Amino acid sequence: MGRVALPRPTTENASLYAAQQKVYPKAVRGPVRRLKWAMLAACLALYYLLPWLRWDRGPGLPDQAVLVDIADARIFLFSIELWPQEIYFLTGALVLAAIGLFAVTSLFGRVWCGFACPQTVWTDLFLLVERWIEGDRNARIKRDAAPVSRDKVLRKALKHAAWIVIAAATGGAFVVYFQDARAAFVAIPTGTASLETYVFFALFTGTTYLLAGWAREQVCTYMCPWPRFQAAMLDEQSLVVTYRGWRGEPRGKARAAGIGDCVDCRACLHACPTGIDIRDGQQMECIGCGLCIDACDEVMRKLQRPPGLVAFETLANLAASDAATMGMPPGPVRQLCGMKARAPVRFARPRSIMYGAVLGLVAAVMLGAFLMRETATLSVLRDRAPLYVRLSDGGIRNGYTLKLANRRLAEPALALELVAPAGFHLTVQEAPLDEARRPRLRLAPDGVTEWRALVSLPAGQAVAASTPIRFRLRDAGGRVQLEETSIFLAPERGSP
């Protein structure tokens, strides 16, 4: 069996608590397993190597291709640089990922869980190390049941040491997404990294070791919310890992008369990383990895029977084959009729079209927003304490803070003008004037520049208590580059 059998509770020892039944997955070979190895290698290479890629952004900017720079509030992704004001791009990317996951699930079942989920990838890696050190399924079961010995202790210690090394590499790879990888590679082992670095390094090292080494299928079965609602995204045309009972039943020994193709060898159960029997039908614990397919096909080849007793199949085809072979005795005729009753998978159906349309719409909106994103922004913050200042000559003055964010490496100088009723006067502290006596504001490259602006109104000029005004920035060619609206506050008429 896939799990170690526990004694049934009696009336005297009955308990609501059930201890974990350890799963010992058996190694299998086949096309599904090769695809999983390829996905494992690709995912691990992407995770571990991506922070080490370099990308030249010019002087004064980090040259790490992918970096979440918390200190300077930037996200660098190759040639893309996102500022805090553009966090909606990250939100859009998460929405795209969610819709894409829904779409893939509706078409191919839980392929994310079985092939690309981090829990699956790292558990596969830890299992590979475990097999190298302790052997395959039967050897591990025998060793765990044996009394303590020198060989058992050494192998267990070596396995856990290897797991800790992998977990530490995982934690270290995570923290270098948030700081320069080369500097962190030297700072972490020498004790010169920040406290925050060590906290997150320890956190991700510990969780990787516990979840991939100890919890394993418990994460998929009890901790992950995805199995609870993924069935809502499936329909009768979704490709899922399933057992073709119309072909395999009734089960029995290979040479017995009147039995189906299933010889009850339990190879599918022994290969399952979550310890379930796929022959029991669709189950929440099934992650759709397809290893049971390779295990069963290997047995079928040895028995010189057609592969595919366990396969990626639609529930519609499964029902059609069941109906077509009902009452037929096992044999080649039943096999032929069951396969002929199947229909091609309909990938284009209302559910998948809806997911595709929503995915395309969100992607188009994101692309449009990205192509039209501003390279510079102006924000105007009016002083709130005091709301206005009465000057010695009787005039009224309001103060403003102008924040100019420049996302380019260029350092342009823009002329500031005030669009307001006649009589208003604009001055900017420490700003030079151009030929037209307008303040000339220089934008820092890839940074934020603050300027202090004062707008005054001479004494005796009637004005409303709240007057809209506009700050406008023009380039050397006179073209308006940025503008922002604010208000000018003055005392109510008749107020002192």
pLDDT digits (tens, 9 = 90+) for 237-253: 999 999 999 999 999 98
Confidence of residue 7 (pLDDT cuts 50, 70, 90): low
Residue written as token pair 């220089």? 442
pLDDT at 363: 95
What is the Cα 425 distance to its own chain's centre?
Answer: 52
User: Looking at residues 248-274, what average pLDDT do you find?
Assistant: 93
Statement: residue 290 has pLDDT above 80: yes
User: Looking at residues 388-396, what average pLDDT do you find?
Assistant: 91
Name 422's Cβ contacts closer than 8 Å, sequence gap at least 6. Answer: none
Are 472 and 409 contacting, i.e. CB atoms less than 8 angstroms apart? no
Summarised one tens digit per residue, pLDDT across range 41-68 is 999 999 999 999 999 988 888 999 999 9
Are 181 and 65 contacting, i.e. CB atoms less than 8 angstroms apart? no
pLDDT at 43: 97
Half-sphere exposure in the Cβ direction for 380 (13 Å, CA): 22
Peptide bond between residue 386 and the one before it cis (omega within 30 degrees of 0): yes
Statement: residue 409 has pLDDT above 90: no
Q: At CA 223, angle to CA 221 and CA 228, rounded to 5?
A: 65
How many Å apart are CA 245 and CA 279, to the nearest integer? 7
Statement: residue 18 has pLDDT above 70: no
Coil, strand or helix at 363: helix
Statement: residue 6 has pLDDT above 60: no
Q: Is the dihedral of CA 113, 92, 102, 308 positive or negative?
A: negative
Confidence of residue 274 (pLDDT cuts 50, 70, 90): very high
Statement: residue 1 has pLDDT above 50: no
Q: What is the mean pLDDT of the chain?
A: 91
Statement: residue 476 has pLDDT above 80: yes
Name 103's Cβ contacts closer than 8 Å, sequence gap at least 6. Answer: 352, 355, 356, 359
- Residues in the chain, overall count: 496
pLDDT at 373: 87
pLDDT at 257: 86
pLDDT at 263: 95
Tokens of 162: 């290897």
Per-residue b/e over 248-260, b at no fewer than 16 CB within 10 Å? beeeeeeeeeebb
Statement: residue 187 has pLDDT above 50: yes
Residue written as token pair 């502290």? 429
Amino acid identity for residue 287 in this structure: I
Statement: residue 12 has pLDDT above 60: no
User: Looking at residues 9-37, what average pLDDT do you find?
Assistant: 80
Higher pLDDT, 211 or 253: 211
Q: At CA 226, angle to CA 221 and CA 229, rounded to 5?
A: 110
DSSP conformation class of 64 = B
Phi and psi at 445, nearest 5°, equal -65, 130
User: Looking at residues 357-381, what average pLDDT do you find?
Assistant: 93
User: 457 - beta bridge partners?
Assistant: 396
Q: Beta strands of 300-435 (E only): which ranges?
A: 310-314, 376-382, 389-390, 396-406, 413-419, 425-428
Statement: residue 443 has pLDDT above 70: yes
